[in-house]
Structure 1
Amino acid sequence: MVEENPYQPPAHVEATVAGMAIHRILFSFKGRIARTTYWIFSLPVNVAIAVLYDRFLTLAEIRQSSLTRSALPPATPDSDAIAIPWLVAGMVLAYLPLLWMKLAVLTKRWHDQDRSANWLVVTFIPMVGMVINFLECGCNPGTRGENRYGPNPVSDPEERTLRTPVTRPRGARNRSYKEASKPSGR
Structure 2
Amino acid sequence: MNWYLDVLKKYAVFSGRARRQEYWMFTLFNTIAVVILAIIDNAVLGVYPALTGIYILGVLLPTLAVTVRRLHDTGRSGWWYFIALVPLVGGIILFVFTLLEGEGQQNAYGPNPKAVTAY
Using structure 1 for the length normalisation, give the TM-score: 0.47
Distance 2:84 2:38 in 1: 16
- The answer as to 2:91 corresponding to 1:106 is no
Which residue identity does 1:134 align to in structure 2? Answer: F
Number of residues of Structure 1 aligned to a counterpart in Structure 2: 110
Q: Give the 3 Å change call, closer, same or farther, for CA 91–36 of structure 1 in structure 2.
A: closer
Structure 2 match to 1:147: 107
Q: In structure 2, do the counterparts of structure 1 residues 121 and 49 end up closer, same or farther at CA, with 3 Å as the change threshold?
A: farther
Instruction: Give me the whole-angstrom Cα distance separating, in 1, the residues matched to 2:84 and 2:50.
Output: 24
Q: How far apart, in 1, do the equivalents of 2:103 and 2:84 lie? A: 21
CA RMSD of aligned residues (A): 3.2
Q: Where does the alignment leave 5 or more consecutive residues of structure 1 unmatched?
A: 1-15, 64-83, 157-186
**Is this contact kept in 1: 2:37–2:51, CA < 8 A?**
no
More helix by share: 2
| Ranges of 4+ aligned residues in structure 1 off by more than 4 Å | 50-56, 124-127
Q: Tell me how far 1:114 sits from its aligned partner.
A: 1.6
Where do 5+ consecutive residues of structure 2 fail to align? none
Give the alignment of 1:1-186 within 5 angstroms.
22=6, 23-24=9-10, 26-52=11-37, 58=42, 62=46, 84=48, 88-124=49-85, 128-138=89-99, 140-155=100-115
Residue 109 to residue 31, structure 1, CA distance change in 2 (3 Å): same
SS of 1:137 mapped into structure 2 = helix
* TM-score between both structures, scaled by the size of structure 2: 0.68
Shift of residue 53 of structure 1?
5.7
AA partner of residue 105 (structure 1): V
